[in-house]
Amino acid sequence: MQLIIHRGTHEIGGSCIELESKNGRIVLDIGMPLVDERGEQFDFRPYRKLSGPQLIEKNILPSVSGMYRFDDSKKSPDALLISHPHLDHFGLLHFVNPALPLYMSKGCHKLVELSYYFNEAAFDFEKIELVTPWKLFNIADFTITPYLVDHSGFDALAFLIEADGTRLFYSGDFRGHGRKHIVFDKIIKEPPENIDYLLLEGSHIEETDGDYDTEEAVELGLVELLNNKEKLYFIATSSQNIDRIVSIYRACKKTNRTFVIDPYTALILESIKSVSFAIPQHDWGNNMKVLFTDSRHTKLLQKDSILGRFEKSEVKYDDIIKDKGRYLIKDTFALRNKFDADKNLSNTSLIYSMWKGYLEDDEELRVFWAKNNVQIIHVHTSGHANVRDLKKFAEALNPGTIIPIHTFSPDKFREHFLDKVRICSDRERVNL
């Protein structure tokens, strides 16, 4: 088997891996980069007018022969597998030829499709294969077993891939301290055997992010804050971090607050309720309500006659203002500005429940809250494994070789995994 990591050997984001066997070729992930070559936040906009081949030349699009819409005269790969619905793993999918078979989990499919919907783009893939965790399948001469993993991205998978007598395990993005830590514990207890190569993510090989150890600790931290009935709280979080949405909902239940979401979030939660019945829904009662905001997303939902579905769960702005201590509001641009315009941000705190770096980079947001004398409290735990769990994972799988991926510090792997580590370069063709 041959391996090419097109991007990810020395960076977090934009993951793309190509595997070639005697009779087949598959691609794992087609992510949007998170950083540019100067290490600053990646911005696709300056490249929008470039052609496909120009994007390949600039190393924005991975050079995978025959994979793209503009490149369909060449022999295409046999399939593209998406590990989970984070943009740094699927963000360049719209360049891919829609005839290429696409493999992903049911939850990943739902969220990727929704992201297309909100971008008003057609999701026109012709062959979508929904994979079931732990149920193996074949593509050409590859045998693949998907493993459900614990991650802040919903319904995330790792893949065990076997071909030409070689066994490779791609960890995808994962952690051991979220709401699905049971699947992490399971793989530690019953690891796949005889792994030759482990492509191991190392987002936190050099540090851990967040003040809280586990998702449960985040929930408890929220409960402690929300018990202060004098205050109105906003919470900044990703609508697609479903573990976090569950933590917030549970904290609201325990403190008798109403988690106020926007229609966009309500639709995301509704779209994945068939994947897990434990995901809180807009119509579950007093601890979750929908506030209709004046945003582009809301207008789109109105145009498509979707908004009406959430009317029965609607909470009115004036009701929130009358009894601020009973609510926790999911922060959105439209909402915070409405509260500001009406001078309704007194005695308010913002719970920042995302990676601290986003806040540090967002000066406008910090200025907005500071201007309103709103205190910002960080309550978060990372979507990625800490060093302790990375080591546990690598020890359990006991591979012949560990190849760092999804990391800014591949060298750090050597401190923990010694001579098992093989550091690759982006676009290097490696014989396994």
Rounded least distance, CB 346 to Zn ion, Å: 37
Question: For tokens 């939850």, what's the residue?
Answer: 107
Rounded least distance, CB 385 to Zn ion, Å: 11
Rounded least distance, CB 150 to Zn ion, Å: 11
Cα–Cα distance for residue pair 323/286, rounded to 1 Å: 14
Q: Which is nearer to Zn ion, 204 or 250 (CB)?
A: 204
Tell me how long the chain is: 432
Q: Which is nearer to Zn ion, 145 or 407 (CB)?
A: 407
Is there a contact between 10 and 429 (Cβ–Cβ < 8 Å)? no
Q: Which is nearer to Zn ion, 149 or 300 (CB)?
A: 149
Q: Which is nearer to Zn ion, 153 or 176 (CB)?
A: 153
Rounded least distance, CB 152 to Zn ion, Å: 6
3-state SS of the chain is CEEEEEECCCCCECCEEEEECCCCEEEECCCCECECCCCCECCCHHHCCCCHHHHHHCCCCCCCCCCEHHHCCCCCCCEEECCCCCHHHHCCHHHECCCCCEEECHHHHHHHHHHHHHCCCCCCCCCEEECCCCCCEEECCEEEEEEECECCCCCCEEEEEEECCEEEEECCCCECCCCCHHHHHHHHHCCCCCCCEEEEECCCCCCCCCCCCCHHHHHHHHHHHHCCCCCEEEEECCCCCHHHHHHHHHHHHHHCCEEEECHHHHHHHHHCCCCCCCCCCCCCCCCEEECCCCCHHHHHHHHCCCHHHHHHHECCHHHHHHCHHHEEEECCHHHHHHHHHCCCCCCEEEEECCCHHHHHHCHHHHHHHHHCCCEEEECCCCCCCCHHHHHHHHHHHCCCEEEEECCCCCCHHHHHHHHHECCCCCCCEEEC
Question: For tokens 């390949």, what's the residue?
Answer: 56
Rounded least distance, CB 201 to Zn ion, Å: 7
Is there a contact between 33 and 14 (Cβ–Cβ < 8 Å)? yes
Rounded least distance, CB 232 to Zn ion, Å: 32
Q: Which is nearer to Zn ion, 78 or 173 (CB)?
A: 173
Q: Which is nearer to Zn ion, 14 or 221 (CB)?
A: 14
Binding site for Zn ion (CB under 5 A): 86, 88, 153, 173
Q: Which is nearer to Zn ion, 61 or 156 (CB)?
A: 156
Rounded least distance, CB 317 to Zn ion, Å: 34
Q: Which is nearer to Zn ion, 86 or 177 (CB)?
A: 86
Q: Which is nearer to Zn ion, 406 or 412 (CB)?
A: 406
Rounded least distance, CB 314 to Zn ion, Å: 32
Q: Which is nearer to Zn ion, 86 or 110 (CB)?
A: 86
Rounded least distance, CB 58 to Zn ion, Å: 21
Rounded least distance, CB 9 to Zn ion, Å: 14
